[in-house]
């Protein structure tokens, strides 16, 4: 029986929380700590070595959290599941909104290309623009969980604070849109070992990306587009921003400068931009079949 941090904070009434399965890397780390502690207890003179072993392990865990596409700290989608790849699907994900000035223009561009996208919304911003959130859903797209306040200290939070941050966003977004998010993306993609058990209890899948445009820095849309199009293929998860985004020299948001060309290239390549829940629908059925 493993212990779970954050106690029963997120348990929903009527349904007992599922037993937490810690990522194997975390289990190995716990074993490593115990072994180091035992060594220091049995051979007291070895304590500097034991301390060094524990410090090295912490360094490795931190590295896993600071590398957004790593799977060291638990399940993490960096590409769409195989079933979606077979259907030539890709996912365009748009983070840090909704933004009353930008999101409507993005929705228009997506409509023009009959493309569906996933908006990883900051719940605080969603509460400030609930009608816009509902418009995203009404126009066939998806709203997913990108934390409550997008704290830059997210990856430094302890288990309870991390659980509160994600659960509060989950409740707000479900309340506003009428659809509970099924996917979570960490602010800036940074996390720590406490995240995986929290996501498991909230039934959320962590998603990072295949490639990001880096549209929050610089003033030139060309390299942003080039990064997103590099080795474009089925199963890609692409990342752009409708919040915190940079602008070109004329003041136009980079995402608006990049999206038309990106959507044309996606269409020309025969790829189908779908929402993450649509891409995952086949995968969920597959997983149930295997269970």
- The active-site residue out of 141, 146, 150, 241 is 241
Instruction: Determine which residue in the list 95, 99, 236, 242 makes contact with Zn ion, applying CB under 5 A.
Output: 95
CB atoms within 10 A of CB 114: 11
3-class secondary structure, 105: helix
Mapped onto helix, strand or coil, the DSSP state of residue 206 is: strand
Catalytic annotation on 95? yes
Considering only residues 158 to 187 of the shown chain, the ones binding Zn ion according to CB under 5 A are 187
Please, are residues 102 and 256 in contact by the beta-carbon 8 Å criterion? yes
| Region near Zn ion per CB under 5 A, out of 67-75, 90-98, 106-114, 263-271 | 90-98
* Minimum CB distance to Zn ion, residue 126 (Å): 13
**Interstrand relation of 211-212 and 205-206 (parallel, antiparallel or unpaired):** unpaired
* Closest distance to Zn ion from the beta carbon of 244 (Å): 7
Catalytic choice (95, 99, 148, 215): 95
Binding mask of the shown chain, residues 180 to 219, with x at each position contacting Zn ion by CB under 5 A: -------x--------------------------------
Could you say whether residue 242 binds Zn ion (CB under 5 A)? no
Mode of pairing for the β-strands spanning 237-241 and 89-95: parallel
> Per-residue x/- marks for Zn ion, 48-87, CB under 5 A?
----------------------------------------
Residue 241 is a catalytic residue = yes
Beta bridge mates, 238: 92, 211
Cβ–Cβ < 8 Å for 169, 145 = yes
15, with CB counted inside 10 A (0-12, 13-18, 19+), is: exposed
Nearer to Zn ion, 6 or 187 (CB): 187
Give the three-class secondary structure for 209. Answer: coil
Q: Quick one: which of 77, 79, 94, 96 contacts Zn ion (CB under 5 A)?
A: 96
The DSSP element (H or E) to which 82 belongs, if any, is helix 82-86
Please state the closest distance from residue 78 (CB atom) to Zn ion, in A.
16
Q: Which two tokens stand for residue 219?
A: 């003033």
User: Would you tell me which residues interact with Zn ion (CB under 5 A)?
Assistant: 95-96, 187
Q: Which residues are known catalytic residues?
A: 95, 241
């Amino acid at each position: 029986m493993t212990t779970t941090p954050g106690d029963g904070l997120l348990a929903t009434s009527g349904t007992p929380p599922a037993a937490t399965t810690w990522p194997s890397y975390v289990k190995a780390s716990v074993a490593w700590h115990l072994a180091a502690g035992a060594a220091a207890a049995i051979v007291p003179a070895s304590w500097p070595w034991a301390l060094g072993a524990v410090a090295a392990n912490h360094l490795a865990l931190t590295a896993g959290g600071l590398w957004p596409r790593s799977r060291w700290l638990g399940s993490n989608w960096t590409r769409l599941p195989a079933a979606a790849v077979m259907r030539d699907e890709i996912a365009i994900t748009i983070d840090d909104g909704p933004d009353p000035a930008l999101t409507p223009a993005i929705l228009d561009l997506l409509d023009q290309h009959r493309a569906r996208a996933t908006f990883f919304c900051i719940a605080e911003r969603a509460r400030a623009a609930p009608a816009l959130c509902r418009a995203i859903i009404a126009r066939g797209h998806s709203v997913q969980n990108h934390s409550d306040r997008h704290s830059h200290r997210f990856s430094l939070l302890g288990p309870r604070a991390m659980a509160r941050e994600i659960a509060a966003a989950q409740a707000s977004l479900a309340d506003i849109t009428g659809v509970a998010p099924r996917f979570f993306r960490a602010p800036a993609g940074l996390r720590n070992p406490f995240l995986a058990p929290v996501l498991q209890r909230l039934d959320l899948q962590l998603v990072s990306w295949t490639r990001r445009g880096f549209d929050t820095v610089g003033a030139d849309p060309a390299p942003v587009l080039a990064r997103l199009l590099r080795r474009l293929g089925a199963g890609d998860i692409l990342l752009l921003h409708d919040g915190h985004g940079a602008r070109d020299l004329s003041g136009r948001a980079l995402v608006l400068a990049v999206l038309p060309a990106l959507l044309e290239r996606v269409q020309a390549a025969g790829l189908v931009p779908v929402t993450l829940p649509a891409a995952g629908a086949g995968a969920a059925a597959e997983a149930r079949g295997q269970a």
